[in-house]
Amino acid sequence: MLKKKICMVGDFSVGKTSLTQKFVNNVFSEKYLTTIGVKIDTAFINDTKLIVWDVAGRDSLSPINASYLVGANGIVLVCDGTRQSTVRDIKDIWQVVKERIGEVPTVVALNKADLEDWHIDAEQTAYFEEQGWQTFETSAKEGQNVKALFEALVSEIG
């Protein structure tokens, strides 16, 4: 059995916990609970045990705690498709990741695709393509592309 550490990172309130819970437990809650520090869950994809680290979100007052990234085999960068600022912020978040652990397999979740006020277009996601990151429009609420996101990352990790 292979064990791989995955870190979910992104701004505050983009849906990291909701995506994790949908993937791990197939549940979605409308109730918002702020992650403090890190929450760790496990799930399986084929012969791989994923240890999913849901890292507290970043905002203007609190940066990502980079010590949680150490040992990560893969990264899920999460943006909120209804808040363009969270897409722009991924560049800064990626710099923190890269400085702390170097280049690792990475995928992007453009979350909240079920909501009507979606504001993401190809121009905004061009940076992700330049990095070679697979990008998924996800909905933790509806389950859209949640499993595919994690499967793609596990495939990249090898």
Kindly state the percentage of the chain with pLDDT values over 90. Answer: 76
- Report the C-alpha gap between 18 and 32 in whole angstroms: 9
CATH architecture of the domain covering 2-157: 3-Layer(aba) Sandwich (3.40)
Other residues' Cβ atoms within 10 Å of the Cβ of residue 124: 16
| Length of the chain (residues) | 158
State how beta strands 106-111 and 134-137 pair: parallel
Domain ranges of the chain: 2-157
For 67-103, write each residue's pLDDT tens digit. 999 999 999 999 999 999 999 999 999 999 999 999 9
Task: Note the pTM of the prediction, 2 decimals.
Answer: 0.93
